[in-house]
Structure 1
Amino acid sequence: MEFIIDLQNLCKSYGSHIAVDKLNLQIQRGEIFGLLGPNGAGKTTSILMMLGLTEPDSGSATVCGHDAGREAIEVKRKVGYMPDNLGFYPQLTGLENLVYIARLNGMAEKGIAEHARDVMETVGLRAAADKPASSYSRGMKQRLGLAEVLIKAPELIILDEPTLGIDPAGVKEFLELISSLREEQGLTVLLSSHHLHHVQQVCDRVGIFVEGKLLATGDLDTLSSRLFGNTGIETLIRLTRIPEDGEALTGIFSTWPEINNLTVTGDRLQFNTAQDITPKLIRRIIELGEDIQAVSRKQYGLDEIYGKYFENNTNFKVDNESIKRRPLFGKRQK
């Protein structure tokens, strides 16, 4: 298994403040990983150590096969980084800004403008390529920032709060673009954010980062199971009438291994299950002669998982589970 990011016991303090505390994290090539935590959790400090922009007090950061502390230049050649605060030359056009960045990265002058236009098209800015950067909206500036990251064809891109200040439609388009870049170019993406919903839409796995500690990593199913056991899915079925014998109904479903708990309250049946068996439940209830008025299903998502870890962070130890290669937070956006 090839890790494009391998952090071992990484620590960083500023005076008496511990910014990053014994960070252990491995990210596989081709993965989209979300580093999730509130402002001040230590996410940006961790990223700066990965890029060789600040030295750790102890531990090691290996990125793209290079020691980030000793081989920082090699790391920077292979990694594209987009900070949360973007800066451009406002009097230059988007294309001119991009060409300038390409030159700074040592790209050959021949064909540089054509390549820059191609990248502008990739990020959806071809029509605005010759407009001054000062006229760009926040969403367009984020795309231009992504173009500057992509211009040198990196193996890994690190995005620090990339959806900050973008309207919902712009966020959706930006995340779809990130997903398509991974699919089309095989990029690995590390996305740092405190926006749970945005992370959930695009990431394969997440790491929950609180007060300098990585409390857990995993996919939604793994984290949900770890916190809520086998009751991660709640299905509520409302019947058109109160069943004549609720105990008999409970007895029928008690033999189902997928059902962890069933509560009958009047005309409502609440099932807690380890997996989604809602269609199977509906078929069986109809077979029993009952009519269904309404069905609702709740699955613990990233909001509940994040809140639970935050609530109990003193009770959890750092835990890195094995990497799994499959869609984890729903279907990947195309």
Structure 2
Amino acid sequence: MDKSIIELKGLTKRYGNFTAVDSLDLSIRKGEIFGLLGPNGAGKSTTILMMLGLSEPTSGAVHVCGIDATVNPIEVKRQVGYLPDDVGFYEHLSGRENLLYTARLNRLSLHEASARVDRLLQRVGLQQAAGKKVGKYSRGMRQRLGLADVLVKNPQVIILDEPTLGIDPIGVREFLELIVALSREEQITVLLSSHHLHQVQQVCDRVGIFVAGKLLAEGNVRELSRTLFSANEPYIIEVGIDTETLDGEGAQLAAVRSALAELSQVVSATIHGGILRVGSEADLRTEVARIVVDSGVGLTSLTMKEYGLDDIYTQYFEGGETYGKIA
């Protein structure tokens, strides 16, 4: 997954005095699932339009599958499948008939089109509904059919723009599992544009956070959280202490502090309200637990504090100008 399949260099789009995308540099590797995050108006859709060759950049360059999307947009469209948040189909035709129509538009022979459509319907779990009119499909079924539709031409890249809007929780889980399977098994690169942070965290290898046309952060969730929240303390270990096991003179807690101080990778240690909080440069859960137990203090819980994508997004969105790139 080292080969870049999407390369954006200094990509900028202005509408008069308004800058929709501001000097964007981004590299997405083959087979990667990349999440493009940001509020409405952040520049995500404009960036996607430039990737597809549907909008010319004011400056900068965009290459998809090694093709200049500005110079040769038709060739890019042959390599890229795009699934918007609401897919348009012929409502009076069945799911299979809609896919056959797309396949024929992509110049597949009738025999090849039929075989590929049946295979894709099975892949997205719609084989039982293949003959059903699309007008009777649920929202989740339409999105599955939309995914099959973009896969008809065997794309190297698929771009999904808010693909889970209006789908029930079970349908969302199944759709995301399908996306991951396609990426892992067929090395399809996936660009997922969304503001559903939990869903993105579930499936994406890396994320890019957009605010006001700028890419403020890029990396995987763990790396971004360490950069943002704990530059000196990448690991935060929280230990629940049974206060009833403490002596009245504080000797046990003093022993805990003394033993922790001897560990070179411990940066800080505080005790408050029955919680021992240890900041360290490495995962020292085993050592911390041993020290607490050996001191005679009752241990009721031990957890590693981890920041999620919602914490990261909020931090960058509130900061507004902090840029952090994780290689």
TM-score (norm 1): 0.91
1:18-70 CA distance string (max 9 Å, x none): 11011110011111111111111110110010000111111110000100011
Cα distance between partner residues in 2 of 1:260 and 1:139: 49
Contact 1:232 1:300 in 2 (8 A): no
Is 1:220 matched with 2:221? yes
Secondary structure of 1:91's aligned partner: coil
Where do residues 44-55 of structure 1 align in structure 2 (5 Å cutoff)?
44-55=45-56
What corresponds to 2:232 in structure 1? 230
Compared with structure 1, are the counterparts of its residues 261 and 275 closer, same or farther at alpha carbon in structure 2 (3 Å cutoff)?
A: same
Secondary structure of 1:306's aligned partner: helix
Q: What is the CA-CA distance between 1:248 and the residue it aligns to?
A: 2.8
Structure with greater Cα Rg? 2
Report the RMSD for the aligned CA atoms in angstroms: 1.6
What corresponds to 2:23 in structure 1? 22
Q: Which runs of 5+ in 1 are unaligned?
A: 323-334
Cα distance between partner residues in 2 of 1:66 and 1:10: 15
1:198-252 CA distance string (max 9 Å, x none): 1100011000111100011111222112212133443322222236322332121
Is 1:74 matched with 2:71? no
Is 1:148 matched with 2:153? no
What corresponds to 2:260 in structure 1? 253
What corresponds to 1:332 in structure 2? none
What corresponds to 2:326 in structure 1? 321
The one-letter amino acid of 1:282's match is: A
Percent identity at matched positions? 50
Where do residues 30-109 of structure 1 align in structure 2 (5 Å cutoff)?
30-109=31-110
Q: What is the CA-CA distance between 1:266 and the residue it aligns to?
A: 5.1
Compared with structure 1, are the counterparts of its residues 146 and 257 closer, same or farther at alpha carbon in structure 2 (3 Å cutoff)?
A: farther
Is 1:289 matched with 2:296? yes
What corresponds to 2:201 in structure 1? 200
Cα distance between partner residues in 2 of 1:268 and 1:177: 41
The one-letter amino acid of 2:25's match is: N
Q: What is the CA-CA distance between 1:275 and the residue it aligns to?
A: 4.1
Cα distance between partner residues in 1 of 2:209 and 2:273: 40
Secondary structure of 1:9's aligned partner: strand
Q: What is the CA-CA distance between 1:296 and the residue it aligns to?
A: 3.8
Cα distance between partner residues in 1 of 2:280 and 2:201: 22
Secondary structure of 1:271's aligned partner: strand
Secondary structure of 2:236's aligned partner: strand
How many residue pairs get aligned? The number is: 320
Contact 1:94 1:130 in 2 (8 A): yes
Cα distance between partner residues in 2 of 1:19 and 1:109: 43
Cα distance between partner residues in 1 of 2:77 and 2:287: 53
Cα distance between partner residues in 2 of 1:141 and 1:116: 15
Secondary structure of 2:110's aligned partner: coil
The one-letter amino acid of 1:89's match is: Y
Cα distance between partner residues in 1 of 2:62 and 2:31: 18
Secondary structure of 2:111's aligned partner: coil
